[in-house]
Amino acid sequence: MKKIFSWILVVAILCSACMVSVFAAEYGDINCDGSIKISDAVLLSQYLALWEVDISSEGMEAADVRYDGVVNTKDAVLLAQYLALWEVTLGPSGSTPTPGPGPDVGGDGDENDPGFGDNDVPAGDIFH
């Protein structure tokens, strides 16, 4: 009986040592390597361009940097602003991004300036 209990204890200890911890990726860390770098922005761009890329479920959650429930070009823009050291926040508190110290094309920083807003421009207007 002691021998069986000892084996059960050994197996339980080994199993607990081998358990995979749940990885909660940081918003923006799309490749889940522990840091937010240009490689994350490239991976997101490839995904949005419909390339065959391998992004884990944690990576897809991390890709929703606007925290609006979808991964789209708005997330790519916010991630690029973050990497360019704009004062933006990724994740839940960054769901309504504001422009950081980047260029103010129109001069007064309001919503009428190019580059501000939700970027819903039809593809036909971009590619002639």
Q: Judge if pTM exceeds 0.85.
A: no
Q: Which amino acid is at 54?
A: D
Range of the domain at 110: 37-117
Give residue-wise pLDDT tens across range 67-110. 999 999 999 999 999 999 999 999 987 554 444 444 444 444 45
Count of domains forming the chain: 1
CA geometry: angle 92, 81, 122, nearest 5 deg = 90
Average pLDDT over the chain reads 73
Asked, for residue 32, whether it belongs to a domain, the answer is: no
Asked, for residue 49, whether it belongs to a domain, the answer is: yes
Rounded Cα distance between 28 and 62, Å, is 5
Contact 78, 94 (CB under 8 A): yes
Asked, for residue 112, whether it belongs to a domain, the answer is: yes
Give residue-wise pLDDT tens across range 14-72. 444 443 334 457 999 999 999 999 999 999 999 999 999 999 999 999 999 999 999 99
Asked, for residue 19, whether it belongs to a domain, the answer is: no
